[in-house]
Structure 1
């Protein structure tokens, strides 16, 4: 969204859940202490651990590979990568992106060495960059030729198939597709995309306005129109159905800012009004039917939230982050409670239990078990 495009977005803290072996559920229980960890109870003993990056960029793009490896991307064309849990960060910024001061708002890791980053902006400012060698070199694989288009978010279904979304062009959202890991991109036909509402767009706030789960399902979050909507495609972006989220809209600063799907049926939506000091009631919603219908969270976060992520291998536990703090749910998004203060934009969790988040002034951190009993 142009309103959020080059200006506002909440800070981001890169966050990582401690200790979880890469072999799934048993590892989560060992890491977080007993079977209650499955339902996220032990997260109450967690706290943020900041990781020094040495940068002052605002990081809104984040990809968690594991509890040791993560990528962050942000303003001034900056991309950083860690392979030691955030103790050290390597500056792997694309030289051209730095020279032009591109706004990198999303990054998707295909593995520890391959990643795809999206810069946002009108026309040629919207680009896709790809690396295969841990960021040592980058290739520009897409530059938007249409001055009416403004790309907001990326998602990948697997290491080959991915999509990017632009704000509406000719009255409908535009979808860009790759089937070779981001080496080549093509605009999909718009015949299966419902008409956009007047003023409707996506928010380039956390890289989570377009998310996927499984090999074919993808969801798109919107705001700015009369109602905030969630669009769902079960065929990798060729046809879409639309549902109202229940999160307040009706203003360019309001709507759904982030989605998170645990699987192809169970999803969360968070958002609100990103303007400082503005109330954001009903800033979260849940879906149990692949986004066909949404219900407001009975106890939502207390303020605007720009990012969300499910804890791996925990049925009902997820995080929501925003400029005024972090909230946690352990009942699938129905009720949220405060976990920590501090400003964050985005959060992402890896399958081994490593969760990261990132934000303003180069802040990156990991969620670790508190030393308190």
Structure 2
């Protein structure tokens, strides 16, 4: 009974946060006094955390520069440094976790700098399960369909994106054949900005986002990476600094794309788009975020509400990504929400925050 009460309370809190975020102040229902905002947690480090996974309101993992991996189990009051030994020279940009004990983390870079590590004991020990042997490959991000099946994405090699696959929870990896992968554009690549350039929904569908070329694009697979289709995305392109930086799908049909131009001070007038057909077509947001955004996440308990974050702030949508309004001006690189309503964000200078009610 106690567990049932705690689950119900978490759901009500998540629903209240979603309603508060979704409704403008002047349109908030009578008696709805709950507002929501980011509450910074002391991470105890100045690492930049572009990798983040929200397990729950109490448990989260963050991965970043200087080979740093942190974990909290008390809502961010304390953080345990669980970094893999000897990883200080690596750049962690993505992390996936399956509870408080099991996680898989990706280091990016050319050649052997791209690596995957796995822990089954909360970071007390780690196993290196992949080290990239090809100097032409550069791995950017990873995703898991379930506790066993996952993918990792590399920038193009020989004119096509390279995809790794695992069927045993990240213990072993293999390069998938490239025959079902469309050709890359000249100069095209994925952005390792938030761990969200490759995402999944359901048991077999995954998407990855690109930029740096004439057109920003989104690739989609419905068979766990064996074959892919590709669609143009109406976000800024035509420059190595522009494109789609993050994707978020609430199911296999409804998704968000955010990005723009990551250079400080550069305009990003079309920084978001939406799809309702699994990524076959993308529609620009009618009122996009005001600047470049690098991360996005759907809010639990709110069918059409989502968050987007970037170095200049956080925006919220209540209509599935068509219109956005600014929630916060703090700098964050990535955002993630757990099924129990716990939403977390992280970024530069050790910044990690949890979305909490403000009364």
CA distance in 1, matches of 2:77, 2:245: 30
- Residues 1:125 and 2:108 aligned together: no
CA distance in 1, matches of 2:322, 2:214: 24
CA distance in 1, matches of 2:15, 2:203: 30
Runs in 1 of length 4+ with deviation above 3 angstroms?
A: 20-23, 26-34, 38-44
Change (3 A) 1:167 1:47: same
Change (3 A) 1:22 1:190: farther
Q: Tell me the residue number matched to 1:349.
A: 337
- Residues 1:340 and 2:328 aligned together: yes
Post-superposition offset of 1:338: 0.3
Change (3 A) 1:38 1:287: farther
Q: Tell me the residue number matched to 1:164.
A: 152
Q: Secondary structure at the match of 2:214?
A: coil
Pick from 309, 316, 329 the counterpart of residue 297 of structure 2: 309
Q: Tell me the residue number matched to 1:13.
A: none
Post-superposition offset of 1:96: 1.9
Pick from 91, 97, 116 the counterpart of residue 87 of structure 2: 97
Larger mean CA deviation between 325-334 and 362-371 belongs to: 362-371
Pick from 170, 173, 176 the counterpart of residue 164 of structure 2: 176
Change (3 A) 1:187 1:273: same
Give the conservation status (yes or no) of the 8 Å contact 1:39–1:315.
no
- Residues 1:137 and 2:141 aligned together: no
Change (3 A) 1:85 1:39: closer
Q: Tell me the residue number matched to 2:19.
A: 37
Give the conservation status (yes or no) of the 8 Å contact 1:118–1:128.
yes
Q: Tell me the residue number matched to 2:11.
A: 28
Give the conservation status (yes or no) of the 8 Å contact 2:199–2:247.
yes
- Residues 1:62 and 2:52 aligned together: yes
Q: Calculate the aligned-residue CA RMSD, in Å.
A: 1.7
Post-superposition offset of 1:53: 0.9
TM-score (norm 2): 0.94
CA distance in 1, matches of 2:34, 2:185: 41
Q: Secondary structure at the match of 2:179?
A: helix
Q: Tell me the residue number matched to 2:217.
A: 229
Q: Tell me the residue number matched to 1:214.
A: 202
Q: Tell me the residue number matched to 1:8.
A: none
Give the conservation status (yes or no) of the 8 Å contact 2:21–2:316.
no
CA distance in 1, matches of 2:232, 2:99: 34
Q: What are the equivalent positions in structure 2 for 1:10-25 lying under 5 Å apart?
A: 21-22=6-7
Give the conservation status (yes or no) of the 8 Å contact 1:21–1:353.
no
CA distance in 2, matches of 1:151, 1:331: 33
Q: Secondary structure at the match of 2:19?
A: helix
Q: Secondary structure at the match of 1:192?
A: coil
Give the conservation status (yes or no) of the 8 Å contact 2:102–2:118.
yes
Q: Secondary structure at the match of 1:28?
A: helix
Q: Tell me the residue number matched to 2:261.
A: 273
Q: Secondary structure at the match of 1:366?
A: strand
CA distance in 2, matches of 1:252, 1:43: 45
Change (3 A) 1:60 1:88: same
CA distance in 2, matches of 1:135, 1:117: 11
Give the conservation status (yes or no) of the 8 Å contact 1:28–1:38.
no
